[in-house]
Every structure is written in C-alpha cells, then in structure tokens.
Amino acid sequence: MTTDARILILGGTPEARQLALLLQARAPAPDQVILSFAGAVRDLPETSCEIRVGGFGGAEGLADYLLSRKITALVDATHPFAASISANAQAASSATGIPLLRLLRPAWAPMQGDDWTDCANSAAALEALPASCRPFLALGRQELRQIFSKAAHLPALFRSIEPADFPIPEGWRWIEGRPARSMTAELQLLRDAGITHMVTKNSGGDGAYQKIAAARALQIPMLMVSRPAEPAQAVLPDAEATCDALMAIFTTRS
C-alpha cells in the first residue's frame, strides 16, 4: 500500500474486522486504516488501527468526513441489512469521486430439509406467524424495537448482545449474547424453549448459521426476511477479495 493511501472501512461485521487486519499488514503507517462503527454495540475490537464510533450525519456528513480526512478509498463492509448506511456511502462516493467498494458476504440459500418462507421485511414475517406458536425472533434488538408489538401476544424468545431498550412483553424471554458457534448449543436452546417457528434475516455468513442448521434438524419452519436491494455497484464476497481490489486501486495510481 502506498504511503498516501487512507482507507475508511464502514464496519460492524466480522468481515470488516478481517479486512482491517489484512490492510494493517500492508500499511506503512498505522493511521492509514480507519475502522468505523455506528455505536450499536460496546464490544469493539482490539486493534492498532484507528477506531471511529458514531454516525456521520447522513450522506453529506460522510462526504465531508471523507474530504477532511483525505480518504482515498471507502469500503462499505456494513451488515447486509444496513440499507441506509449503504445508500449514504454510495451518495458520498458519487459526490466526492472517492472509490467505493462493497464487501458483502453471500446470502444463505435453502438446503434440503429447510422449511423456508421468504418475507419482504421483518414486520411481514411477524405478521405471518401462526396465531398459536412459540417463535424464536432472531432479528436483533434494534429491529425488534420498531415492531415488537406485532408479536407481543406470543410467548417469544429473542437474543441480543445488548439489553433490550423497549418494554419486553409479558411472556417473552430475553437472553443476552451472540449466536452460538455450536449447532449443539443452538439445538439445546430451541428444544429447551419449545420453539415452533423461527424468524430471522438472511444475513449470510458463518457466524449465525448454526441456528439455521438447528432449525433444519428440528424441522422448525423459518420465516426468512429477504435482503434489501443493494445500490448498483460491484460486490466483493470476502475480506481477501476486497483487500486485493484495494491493492489494485493503489497500484494503478502509483
């Protein structure tokens, strides 16, 4: 990486952290890689690169930041459902002429034994739940805060990294933590809670897949929320491919 390169990674995903580590290994100076987090969770990674926490103030604020920090490449490595941030990144890139790369892990695809119902959004998924069921709402705290009333009458289970910031309906059970890496643990959770249906977003990746595999093994129907449409741009599937693409950009410029 050339000494004048400065990369801003819009993070919040494991892939963003992996990319930051790859770039640091190639960066002559520690301030050439900035890893940005929206601030939704507190467990930030331990890294020698610069960490930024908080919003930018929309597309215009992001464009101003890119120019003020002399950013030479922008990477959108946010969650597949962070549609507004991705749109702001696209607009800021267009306004400043700073190249934008989208690091987006592939979506999950149904496998033999899966019982999937695709839903346009999370609200539609909750509305599609049977009148008498015990669902696992694997949607995340921020998502549920907007729509929890649609399933308030059901004995639901949900899990989040941070405590719920909305009134938990009577009969709901909240557990703190990330998705288990072990299918055995997810099987045990679903069995112990008597889960009959699962509502989840098609986030893709390995980190949360064990709950999908567990639902398949237990033949639990899944209401799968489809990904939002992405802005028209090239998509890179992993940190390694994104790092190579960035190196190609700076090689061409040098």
163 lies in the same domain as 236: no
**Per the domain annotation, does 210 fall within a domain?**
yes
What is the pTM for the complete model shown?
A: 0.89
**pLDDT, position 192:** 96
- pLDDT confidence band for 198 (50 / 70 / 90): very high
The reply to whether 71 falls in a domain is yes
Q: Given this model, what pLDDT does residue 249 score?
A: 84
In a domain, 1, yes or no: no
At 177 the pLDDT is 87
Range of the structural domain that residue 238 is part of: 7-106+229-253
- Give the model's pLDDT for residue 25: 84
Do 46 and 144 have their domain in common?
no
The verdict on 193 and 102 lying in the same domain is no
Whether residue 205 is found in the same domain as residue 127: yes
Q: 185 and 240 in one domain?
A: no
Indicate if 168 and 87 belong to the same structural domain.
Answer: no
Contact 93, 99 (CB under 8 A): yes
58 and 135 part of one domain: no
Query: Is 143 a domain residue?
Result: yes
What does the buried/exposed string (b/e) look like for 68-101 if buried means 16 or more CB atoms within 10 Å of the residue's CB? Answer: eeebbbbbbbbbbbbeebbbbbbbbbeebebebb
Q: Work out how many domains the chain is built from and give that number.
A: 2
> Is 111 among the domain residues?
no
Regarding whether 34 and 101 lie in a shared domain, the answer is yes
Share of the chain above pLDDT 90, in %: 68
Asked which of 74-78, 83-87, 93-97, 139-143 is least confident by mean pLDDT, the reply is 139-143
* pLDDT, tens digit (0-9, with 9 covering 90-100), for 19-64: 999 998 887 666 789 999 887 656 666 677 888 888 999 999 999 9
CATH number assigned to the domain comprising residue 193? 3.40.50.720
Mean pLDDT of 98-125: 95
Tell me the average pLDDT across 141-153. 90
Same domain for 121 and 217? yes
Residue 186 placed within a domain: yes
The reply to whether 128 falls in a domain is yes
What's the rounded Cα separation, in Å, for the pair 70 and 98?
10
Radius of gyration of the chain (CA): 20
Residue 54 domain-assigned?
yes
Query: Are 248 and 199 contained in the same domain?
Result: no
- In this structure, the answer to whether residues 133 and 41 fall within a common structural domain is no
Which range is least confidently modeled, 91-95, 161-165, 186-190?
Answer: 161-165
Helices 58-68 and 83-96 pack at an angle, to 10 degrees, of 50
177 and 142 assigned to the same domain = yes
Tell whether the model's pLDDT for residue 15 goes beyond 60: yes
